[in-house]
Amino acid sequence: MRPLLAVYRSAIVLVVLAGVLWAPDARFHEVQLGFAGIGTKLVYFTIQSNLLLAAMEAASVVAALRHRPQPSGWVVGGATFFVTITFAIYNTVLAPGGGDGAVLLFSGRPSSDLLHVVAPVLAVVDWVAFRRHPGVRARWSLLWLVYPVAYLVFVLVRGALSDAAPHYPYPFVDVDAIGYAGVARSFAVLTPLFAVLALAFAGVDHLLGRTRASAAPEVEAADDTTRALPE
């Protein structure tokens, strides 16, 4: 099982890297990979969250190959949580249903589809099916919110100090368009939703742990070296 998991998680890393390096407007038949504009791309939460996912999955692969402990349940859950935010915000707020002409959330643009759909789905499958549960307690899951809040601060400070494009990467943080009051309203709505999502992750985590324990108490989960965050 572990070699197969290493292949699966390596595939997630490759999906993320392809999505990051593929030209944003190119189609699947137009293989345009490169580092052009990478600095601009790194401003986006989509890119940052996917790279965090790739780093976590790569660390998992290396740990498995070297017979070392896997990343903690809190780290794995957090990386999955962040790309779930990316999936949810893009497909409901920024481009509902994947945007005009999309088929099952797929726009036909690999940069978008790999990062907004494929990588998040693969990450959730990995977390649900192949990670040990429970891995994180509810109160610790709320610490994941530090990153989205820090990202907001980063975007606002960057926008105030620089005119570099994109000035503000998302419409709900676009001070030029909606003002600071509008940004505050956006996060007054989004932050509680993110908190509910984080608690839902923790709830599912514990439910999966109880289900597996009752169904097959003698069988350990695939990642038997994954550590839960201590009390």
pLDDT given at position 216: 64
In a domain, 93, yes or no: yes
What b/e string do you get for 52-85 counting C-beta neighbours within 10 Å, with b at 16 or more?
bbbebbbbbbebbeeeeebbbbbbbbbbbbbbbb
Q: What distance, in Å, lies between the first and last C-alpha atoms of the chain?
A: 30
Minimal CA–CA distance to 225: which of 123, 131, 129, 140? 131
pLDDT given at position 11: 98
**27, 127 Cβ separation under 8 angstroms:** no
Looking at the 3D structure of the chain, how many domains does it have?
Answer: 1
> Which residues span the domain enclosing 62?
2-215
- SS3 call for 66: coil
pLDDT given at position 41: 94
pLDDT given at position 1: 65
In a domain, 76, yes or no: yes
Minimal CA–CA distance to 130: which of 48, 88, 73, 85? 73
In a domain, 224, yes or no: no
Which residues share a beta bridge with 106? 103
In a domain, 221, yes or no: no
pLDDT given at position 2: 80
For the chain, residues with pLDDT lower than 50 are 218-222, 225, 227-228, 230-231
In a domain, 46, yes or no: yes
d(CA 100, CA 62): 40
pLDDT given at position 8: 98
In a domain, 98, yes or no: yes
The model's pLDDT over 85-105, given as tens digits with 9 standing for 90+, comes to 999 999 999 999 888 888 889
pLDDT given at position 128: 97
pLDDT given at position 166: 92
In a domain, 231, yes or no: no
- Eight-state DSSP code of residue 112: H
d(CA 67, CA 159): 44
In a domain, 227, yes or no: no
